[in-house]
Structure 1
């Protein structure tokens, strides 16, 4: 009679895991450590007391002690994994996703940041082995370098009816509730979309990268699909391309094309190189038209994927993020004479 012997899966390193539906056979994985948090029972095969309590290895003298949150740049020998020069504290905190560089400067000036147990000062520099705390919480600081990991970047399809803020007095739904949770950092929104605007919204864990993506010097185009109530005459279209006067200064579209539609609802595709508050809506209102629906479909090199449903997000691969950072860091080509 044949017997069907099931072989337990042997994980990397030799640890034996239980087959689906049960625990390992007695004797399989003998003298293996118990899973964390489980007390031994009568059926466990335990080593002798002398083997169960090995003597701790002597600690090397002079080995730098690093906090758990700062181990991203530190190897087992206590030395940095990457060759990193000292960098300004506010820049490092921004790269860690704690907030923008300006916010970090304000927090440092307010005494909310400490380095190695001492209150930090503006202009202070730090190295990978330093312990940096914000409000008493240890921060996972990461330095740029050949061995550094790229920050994380998300594309999110924001639906209408969500606010781009963590704190809302009216208790409206927040876009941050739909994002993946993380430890040792936080998601930073690249710009904003109005409560009633949907479409592409970017997030990153790096305040430095978020600032580059938003800064006018990066010259990243924003493209929108706009549904308009009312007739947009040829004269009004030329006015929007040439420029209209708003309460916070002149504004104009870099492109405006007809995208079809019937009756009172007409669709247009518009693009511009800035992102002032409700700018697209206010520009159409300036020529006597009301925007009934607004969708951002592009931000710089990012295009809203057709398969990305509302309320869902897509994370970029590390190689894609590094390519983006190289592109943002490259000098702009000089205009042709």
Structure 2
């Protein structure tokens, strides 16, 4: 029997007039410290008005039906949401994918008339699907859900709460622990998911962490400088005081990687315990204040197009060069700034372009093999070998095989 007299932050007392509260409080009741830790100084955002459904299509989205052309098998499967391209190549090598009843091979071209099976099950890989934009959704994951389709303990899965998708399946962009809540991204494009997770882009993850007790300035500085974990050193790029009352204190932290339970383990390394953890940002994506736990918000076409252009992915999810992700207009910059004290060196990639290393003048060759440095493996500035064994046939030192005196190529 339900006790109707019991009050919770989400249930006003009977007979009480409902108060008008900002949208941010819809999720966390009247816990102002939590709201400030999660939303910072951002103003409450109103939920966007529902748009009329597009004629003959889903709400707010249009599709472009085109005749599919032969494409790489692993790319077609990745765009159908079966998995990433690398996973598809591994499954092809393992013999788990067949085309028209025959084992598939890496690099195989397939067309709309081919019958593709994965683990013996037919995949409806419509090639018109590759010509339309993939779907991207933001999900407010509650605590108590696992980011997996197969769980021996039969716990609740985030995939049970996602909308159905035709002709593919959702691919999770990273993971959140069972006891961690907050922003989680899903897309129907395996290639786009790979880009959003790739360490090359170093997308910032921002969390609101409730810690038992206050941290001293020494411990906060230690978390900024770095702590040693079992799988290597780790550090917060930023850590800000989020306030709080009593024994619990909120902090907003950012980092550019997503190792297993990394935030919790970092606080444990300085003797602190995290009692609650909420992810509020992933790269350019912010957790909308109006998005309740267990609910999703799908990106509009213009947002998806800007995202794919930013990460160098074509309209079908295929790779378009190795351009570094630039933030979409109006979005939060999710790329980590260069480390202090490290300037770009000659020959390194700067802003996506490889700068050629200038060749230094070659010193004049000596007529005798004698002299030079004690270490015969060291080279002069121009790259010519000096010292070492005398040259055969009366040739001057450094005049051996062609190319030995060349300057090193840029990295």
Alignment of 1:109-124 (within 5 A): 109-124=93-108
Find the aligned partners of 2:271 and 2:87 in 1 and give their Cα distance.
39
Distance 1:285 1:137, change over 3 A: same
Find the aligned partners of 2:210 and 2:296 in 1 and give their Cα distance.
24
The alpha carbon displacement at 1:196 in A equals 0.4
Structure 2 regions of 5+ residues with no counterpart?
Answer: 1-54, 56-62, 313-321, 327-349, 356-411
Task: Judge which range, 298-307 or 93-102, deviates more.
Answer: 93-102
Match of residue 20 from structure 1:
none
Match of residue 92 from structure 2:
108
1:170 to 153, 172, 180: 153
Task: Judge which range, 108-117 or 222-231, deviates more.
Answer: 108-117
Match of residue 254 from structure 1:
237
The alpha carbon displacement at 1:126 in A equals 2.9
Find the aligned partners of 1:127 and 1:256 in 2 and give their Cα distance.
51
8 Å CA contact 1:74–1:128 kept in 2: the answer is: no
1:96 to 66, 80, 96: 80
Match of residue 122 from structure 2:
137
1:31-64 Cα deviation digits (max 9, x unpaired): xxxxxxxxxxxxxxxxxxxxxxxxxxxxxxxxxx
1:146-203 Cα deviation digits (max 9, x unpaired): xx21111110000001111111111111111100112321111110000000000001
Match of residue 236 from structure 1:
219
Structure 1 regions of 5+ residues with no counterpart?
Answer: 1-11, 13-71
8 Å CA contact 2:80–2:129 kept in 1: the answer is: no
* Match status 1:193 vs 2:176: yes
Q: Normalized against structure 1, the TM-score is what? A: 0.71
8 Å CA contact 2:76–2:125 kept in 1: the answer is: no
Distance 1:127 1:193, change over 3 A: same
Find the aligned partners of 2:151 and 2:113 in 1 and give their Cα distance.
37
Match of residue 22 from structure 1:
none
8 Å CA contact 1:74–1:129 kept in 2: the answer is: no
Alignment of 1:16-35 (within 5 A): none
Paired residue secondary structure (1:137): strand
1:325 to 288, 301, 308: 308
The alpha carbon displacement at 1:92 in A equals 2.0
Match of residue 273 from structure 1:
256
2:271 to 273, 279, 288: 288
Find the aligned partners of 1:256 and 1:264 in 2 and give their Cα distance.
19
8 Å CA contact 1:93–1:104 kept in 2: the answer is: yes
1:58-84 Cα deviation digits (max 9, x unpaired): xxxxxxxxxxxxxx9875xxxx26xx5
The alpha carbon displacement at 1:127 in A equals 4.0
The alpha carbon displacement at 1:297 in A equals 0.3
Find the aligned partners of 1:326 and 1:204 in 2 and give their Cα distance.
15
Alignment of 1:149-164 (within 5 A): 149-164=132-147
Find the aligned partners of 1:102 and 1:331 in 2 and give their Cα distance.
20
1:206 to 149, 170, 189: 189
Find the aligned partners of 1:305 and 1:252 in 2 and give their Cα distance.
27
Find the aligned partners of 1:252 and 1:126 in 2 and give their Cα distance.
46
Find the aligned partners of 2:84 and 2:224 in 1 and give their Cα distance.
33
Alignment of 1:67-82 (within 5 A): 80=67
User: How many residues end up aligned between the 2 structures?
Assistant: 258
8 Å CA contact 1:92–1:143 kept in 2: the answer is: no
Find the aligned partners of 2:264 and 2:123 in 1 and give their Cα distance.
43
